[in-house]
Each structure stands twice: as structure tokens, then as C-alpha cells.
Amino acid sequence: MSVLHIAEVTKTFSGGTHAVNSFSLDVADGELVCLLGPSGSGKSTLLRMVGGFEQPTSGRITIDGEDVTHLPPERRPTGMVFQSHALWTHMNVFKNLAFGLKLRRMPAAEIREKVEAVLELVGLAGYGDRMTNQLSGGQQQRVALARSLVLEPKILLLDEPFASLDQHLRERLREEVRDIQQRLGITTLFVTHGQDEALSMADRIVVMANGKTEQIGRPDVVYRDPKTPFVAGFIGTMNLVEGEVKNGHFARSDFSFPLSIADGPATLAIRPEALDLTVSETPKAKVHRVTDYGSHGLVDLDLADGTRLKSMVAHPDLFRTGQGVDLEPRAVAAYRNNQQIFRS
């Protein structure tokens, strides 16, 4: 039973950078929350404040009701996995894992037992005698994870732990971490700027921009219903079209679409898979390029004023470059002043 509570936390660095700006988040017991955002959005800073490596300028962080805001890292019940594994190269794998337990004055037999159990958990049974430089990148990250897990922290913090690994390994480790996290039921905060990582692992996603929350929600909800144009553009591929609404019609260049909202400027968001194309005699857009991915195709189109759109089609062989096509959005969302004002 471990709950993380972050209330109105702000971090201003000495240079005046507002890395995190009045950020609040509650993480429930056993939940895995992903912090997702572009580079420089303050994800690492936030995580480091939870781990105790940075002091918040203001705000409060509590774990299970206990205020840890001003505790140093060594006295917090958190375990952190760093981006570059940060293993201690002068110790072998066993000693890396045993170090924290030794500091807690645990008897040697018990340490051995625990270390072997956790090595088994991360799939590295029998690797205790290896030096850290005799491991592959993926194995090193597993040791780093095991080093945190062996201390049974209340909150597990991971800062882009797989960023330096290749795509294949990343996907495998992602699943392993998710399995372990669910098996142990450990409350986890996970930083990534890979949206597929967030979408596939998280119970909830926090999309951050400029140190602030843009949207918090379940991955499928955030994907299907982005609440701000930033989230719409950041999660998945999205066509964002700026235009004018007049008399219940959104218009941009030759493209117009019935939209029953008040007149004024608006941004229309359409997923490529929700934009249908038909070959037409009175075209609104021109095919720029067709890419066949086998299972589906992606068509790049240009409106008359050069605005580029993407459409996902089932039969890419129906279209070729230069062809005129008509557009038929099936589902759209509209934004004005950074707020969602319409969704179909």
C-alpha cells in the first residue's frame, strides 16, 4: 500500500528556468504512471525531485502520507533507475545488488538469498560473479533495475531506462518491466519521451509540456480524445489544420467541412486513419506521395495552398502521385485557444 502524492510542485533553477511549474499528481497504489513529453519539458526534474536529488522550489511531495519533500535521497523509500545504468564498475553484479542491503546491516546469508531471488526475477540468475563491464547493455539495465528492486522501495522511479538500447531490446525489456511491476504491485513513475512506450506500458499517462500537465488519463483515452492541440500533435500521428469557421463550416483552402461551432479561427484535428479519400473529378487535394507498408498504406496529400495532410488507406494501389482526391473526415476534434471545443 504505497501512494505518491505530488502537490503544486515548482522547480526554478538558478538560471531562472521554470523546469517544473505548479505540478500536481496522485499515483495510486500499484499503479504505473508514465510521464511523457518533449525534451526539456521537465520530466527528469520532476522525477529527480521525487527521488530527492533536487529540492522543489515550492510544493509538497508525500509518500504514504509522510512528507518527504526535504528528505535526502538516502532517507527516502524510493528506488531510481537511471538512464545510463550508473552501475558501480569496481564491484561485480552481486556486490552492486548487495551494497544497499549491507548498508542496512542485513546478515550475509539473508543478503545472498535476496540478491539471488531478485537476479532470478530479472532473468540474470547465475550472473552474480560477473563484472559489470562483462554484461550487454540490456543486462546492465536489468542489473540496475534489480539493484533498485532488491531494496523493496515503496516507489520505483525510472528515467528513460531503455533510451540507449535498440528498438528490439527496448520492446522486450518494456514488457519484462511491466510484468515485474505488476507481479510485485510496486507503485511506479516512468519517464519516457517515446509515446509507444507510454501507450503500451502505462496505467495512466501524464503528458507534460513546459513543466506543466497538458493531460492526464488512460493511454487509450489520451490517444482517442486529446484535450489540447499539443497533446493531439504529440501522441500518435495527427493532421492539425488551422482554418476559419464561418456559418457552421470550417474552411481551409479548398477543403471545407461542416462544423457547428461559433464563427472564428479553429484548429481541426484528424487522425490519418479517420481521413477517407476518394478519387474525384472536383478534387480538393492532390496526392503527393503513396507509401505502401504492406498491411496498409499512407498517402501524403497537399491542399491547394500547400498544407500537407496524411491519410491511412487500406488499398494504396488505388492512388498515384498527382491524382486529385476528395477528403472525407470520419471523426474530428476542434480546438480554439488551446481548448477542445468540439469532438465527433
Partner 1 sequence: MSEFVERAVSVPAETAAGRRPIGLLLVAIPVFLVIWLVIWPAINAISRTIWRTDADGNSSFDLSSYAFFFSDRYSLDNLAITLWTTLVCAVLLLVICLPIALYLRFSHGRLPAYVQALAILPMFVPSIILAFAFIRVLGPNGMVDILLNAVGLPKIRTPYLTPWGPVIGLVWDNIPLTVLILLSGLGSVANQSIEAARDVGANTLRVFWHIILPRISNSILVALSFSVLGIFSSFTLPYLLGPASPEMLGPFMQRTLRDVQDPIGAMTQAVVAFGFCILFGLFYVRSVAKNRGK
Residues at the contact surface with Mg ion, assessed by CB under 5 A: 44
Residue 15 touches which of ligand ATP, partner 1, Mg ion, none (CB < 5 to 8 A by kind)? Answer: ligand ATP
Enumerate residues 35-74 that contact partner 1 by CB under 8 A.
51-53, 72-74
What is the residue whose three cell numbers read 501524464? 206
Is 40 or 324 the residue whose CB approaches ligand ATP more closely? Answer: 40
φ, ψ (nearest 5 deg) of residue 20: -130, 135
135 vs 138: CA distance, rounded Å: 8
Give the total of residues touching partner 1 (CB under 8 A): 26
Q: If binding is defined by CB under 6 A, does position 55 make contact with ligand ATP? A: no
Is 147 or 284 the residue whose CB approaches partner 1 more closely? Answer: 147
Is 44 or 239 the residue whose CB approaches ligand ATP more closely? Answer: 44
Least separation in angstroms between CB 18 and partner 1: 20
Q: If binding is defined by CB under 8 A, does position 147 make contact with partner 1? A: yes
What is the residue whose three cell numbers read 470550417? 250
Enumerate residues 155-214 that contact ligand ATP by CB under 6 A.
193
Residue 45 touches which of partner 1, ligand ATP, Mg ion, none (CB < 5 to 8 A by kind)? Answer: ligand ATP
Q: What angle do CA 224, 229, 231 make, to 5 degrees?
A: 55
Enumerate residues 17-46 that contact ligand ATP by CB under 6 A.
17, 19, 37, 39-45
- For residue 198 the three cell numbers come to 507510454
124 vs 113: CA distance, rounded Å: 14
Gyration radius of the chain's alpha carbons: 24
Q: If binding is defined by CB under 8 A, does position 329 make contact with partner 1? A: no
Is residue 80 within 8 A of residue 49, CB to CB? The reply is no
- Is the CA virtual torsion 314, 315, 319, 320 positive or negative? positive
- Residues in contact with 257: Cβ distance below 8 Å, sequence separation at least 6, in sequence order: 249, 250, 251, 268, 329, 332
268 vs 130: CA distance, rounded Å: 56
Return the exposure string of 89-101: e unless at least 16 CB atoms fall within 10 Å of the residue's CB, then b: eeebbbbbbbebb
Q: If binding is defined by CB under 8 A, does position 103 make contact with partner 1? A: yes
Least separation in angstroms between CB 234 and Mg ion: 16
> 3-class DSSP state for residue 98?
helix
Least separation in angstroms between CB 182 and partner 1: 23
x/- site string to partner 1, residues 148 to 187, per CB under 8 A?
x--x------------------------------------
* C-alpha to C-alpha distances, 126 to 11, 106, 115, 132, 168, nearest whole angstrom: 43, 21, 11, 14, 24
Q: If binding is defined by CB under 8 A, does position 88 make contact with partner 1? A: yes
Is residue 78 within 8 A of residue 155, CB to CB? The reply is yes
Least separation in angstroms between CB 136 and partner 1: 19
Stretch that binds ligand ATP, among 14-22, 177-185, 292-300, 322-330 (CB under 6 A): 14-22
Q: If binding is defined by CB under 8 A, does position 79 make contact with partner 1? A: yes
Interface residue list for ligand ATP (CB under 6 A): 13, 15, 17, 19, 37, 39-45, 193
